[in-house]
């Protein structure tokens, strides 16, 4: 899933305008952008770890890294298998 927001009205200029609340049971995973720094990834994963503790879905929450493919000229999402979050029982 990807959310693309058109900001014709200028309501997403502030941090509050770009913040969304999700039901973590409905999310399958996230894709880290090409320019996401390692420190931001660690910060995001720490937040996710806390948020996903109460997740009731048994499927693992998957993490992906966006990478540019020079051959195809496209951005691709690569699965980060070592960073999968599973629900502890």
Q: For the chain, which residues make up each domain, given as ranges?
A: 16-83
Q: How confident is the model at residue 32 (pLDDT cuts 50, 70, 90)?
A: very high
Q: What percent of the chain has pLDDT over 70?
A: 69
* Residue-wise pLDDT tens digits, 39-71: 999 998 898 888 888 888 888 889 999 999 999
Q: How confident is the model at residue 1 (pLDDT cuts 50, 70, 90)?
A: very low
* pLDDT value of residue 6: 56
- Contact status, residue 85 vs residue 47, Cβ threshold 8 Å: no
* pLDDT value of residue 81: 81
């Amino acid at each position: 899933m990807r959310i693309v927001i058109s900001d014709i009205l200028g309501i997403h200029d502030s941090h509050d305008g770009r913040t969304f609340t999700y039901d973590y049971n409905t999310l399958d995973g996230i894709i880290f952008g090409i320019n996401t720094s390692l420190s931001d990834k660690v910060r995001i994963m720490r937040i996710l770890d806390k948020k996903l503790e109460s997740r009731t879905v048994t499927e693992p929450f998957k993490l992906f890294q966006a990478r540019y493919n020079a051959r195809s000229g496209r951005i691709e999402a690569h699965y980060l298998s070592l960073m999968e979050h599973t629900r502890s029982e």
